[in-house]
A = this chain, B = another copy of it.
Amino acid sequence: VLQFEDFEPGQVYELGSWEVTEAEILDFARAFDPQPFHVDPDAAARSPFGGLIASGWHSAAIYMRLYVDGILSRAASMGSPGVEELRWLVPVRPGDVVRGRFTVVETSPSSRRPDRGTVIALCELLNQRGEVAVSFRARGFFGRGVPG
């Protein structure tokens, strides 16, 4: 089990990849972000984006899934209080194959709770051309001294 003391500034974890389909973009956007350029391919083609793009919250959620599968599913995760500087830099489009990258920026043990610490990481979702499509700085709590 990955825990607080296993993370060190500078470490880079390459997470897995995810093929983004048009059906998935439409499903997410119809539920949570029904703007024309997310739910209507024709309107999207006429928009400044020139075609359908994924909701920014969808692309962030895809990063989250890659992060859970690649790190949190084998870590003593204790949740997150939030993220900074969430940036939607390059649209995510149908057919894109995106992948995640998690870079440890800073670690700090909790001064009040000896059983945990905070890991600050740069989280990036890259597309098949190596462009960073989404990035943010996340703060996560991890257990310390967890047996096993």
Of the listed stretches A2-10, A28-36, A99-107, A124-132, name the one at the interface; the rest are far from the partner chain. A28-36
Q: Please tell me if the beta carbons of A35 and B81 are within 8 angstroms of each other in the complex.
A: no
> Which residues from chain B contact A64 at a C-beta distance below 8 Å?
32-33, 55, 57
> Which residues from chain B contact A77 at a C-beta distance below 8 Å?
35
> Which residues from chain B contact A61 at a C-beta distance below 8 Å?
28, 31-33, 55, 57-58, 61
What per-residue 1/0 map shows which CB atoms of A75-99 lie under 8 Å from chain B? Answer: 0011111111111110000000000
Q: With contacts A34-B65, A82-B87 known, what are 18 further pairs, Cβ within 8 A?
A: A34-B73, A35-B77, A37-B79, A48-B78, A49-B79, A57-B57, A57-B60, A57-B61, A60-B60, A79-B88, A80-B88, A81-B89, A82-B86, A82-B88, A83-B86, A84-B84, A84-B86, A86-B136
A-B contact pairs, 21 of them (CB 8 A): A28-B61, A32-B62, A32-B64, A33-B61, A33-B64, A34-B65, A34-B68, A34-B73, A35-B72, A37-B79, A48-B78, A56-B80, A60-B60, A81-B87, A81-B89, A82-B85, A82-B86, A82-B88, A84-B86, A86-B86, A86-B136
